[in-house]
Homo-oligomer: A and B are copies of this chain.
């Protein structure tokens, strides 16, 4: 066996007992762009298998590790192992390997996944190691393929293959929220709006009908539309409705016979996808509208006692989550869920993605406090 074969087959040994920020660095340095999660999943599996208080289940590159203490409540801590691709601009620091800088926030860790979401995964792993006897049963979920098309989601696959492992009273997704609790999420739905015309030579335009001109009214309706903010379970969900793409036209001397606009509506979790569709159809009456994609939102679920206790421990006012996250998969399965994780979501996917070490440590401490407090 050659050295490189050894390196490829033996999982990296993760240090779960040390500084959770250093563990984050270790996780970043095992590159795991979607489709290439295996080496990281192997390392996580090896680390979990060494913890006698957990039962571990692997499904593809996803892992579920559970305490089985017979507690009256079970909570889920979930995070995805994959990242978006490495940055391609020279000098980008949100890459692999990770690097450190010190600034007014203290030590700051740069690297792909620093915020989205290897800091969160490090917190999960450190808790898994530290909490041999938590006050609630805990299910740790690590999954693949979150940063790609929804049908590839490792969490979705787990729900199909082993739903019995995912039962619980309350779920926390460790997506970056800057350490505040972000409840639920907006839903998202997309449409293709098409106008049709009749091609003609642009020198004899009156023999044709211009499909791009036919889109003027659609764009005007979108431009003047003022999205509402909706209160759901005490959180204010701000909606948005946008043309995200437009294309039309055949050549510089032909009247366009066809124009398409893609619309994305982010709707508050008081509505389902069908309500959202009815809303957009009413806004664009008479237009050819095709629904191309939809994902339900999630109500914040903060009324559940476990959630309320958690919010009280964190001690900050919860906020709504605007972007769609996997909390809605838990929500659909009947498990209230919130986002709570280290790092600034606005840095996710950026070329200089980074997270302050202290943010990762604070997230760990908050969850540790909540899961060890006397019942």
Contact = CB atoms under 8 A, between A and B. Distances in A.
Given A213-B222, A222-B213, A255-B242, A202 B247 contact: no
A247 B246 contact: yes
Contact of A248 (B210, B213, B245, B264): B245
A215 interface: yes
Residues of A in contact with B, size category: 35 or more
Contacts of A324: 203
A246, A252, A261 pick with most chain B CB within 10 angstroms = A246
18 contacts: A188-B202, A202-B242, A203-B323, A210-B222, A210-B243, A212-B245, A213-B219, A215-B246, A216-B220, A243-B248, A244-B252, A244-B255, A246-B248, A246-B259, A247-B247, A252-B262, A252-B264, A252-B293
A247 B250 CA distance: 11
Nearest to A212: B243
A283 interface: no
Contacts of A222: 210, 213, 216
Contacts of A203: 186, 188, 240, 266, 322-324
Given A205-B266, A262-B252, A210 B246 contact: no
Contacts of A227: 205
Contact of A254 (B202, B213, B244, B322): B244
| Number of copies of this kind of chain in the complex | 2
A203 B219 CA distance: 19
Nearest to A215: B219
A151 interface: no
A204 interface: yes
A262 B206 CA distance: 18
A150 to B, nearest CB: 11
A322 B247 CA distance: 27
Nearest to A227: B205
A365 interface: no
A201 B322 CA distance: 10
A238 interface: yes
A162 interface: no
Contact of A246 (B223, B249, B254, B322): B249
A188, A222, A322 pick with most chain B CB within 10 angstroms = A322
Q: Which 4 A-B pairs have the closest CB atoms?
A: A245-B249, A205-B240, A216-B219, A203-B323
A190, A204, A293 pick with most chain B CB within 10 angstroms = A204
A154 interface: no
Interface in A22-56: none
Interface in A155-189: 186, 188
Nearest to A348: B201
Interface string A192-216: 0000000001111111001011111
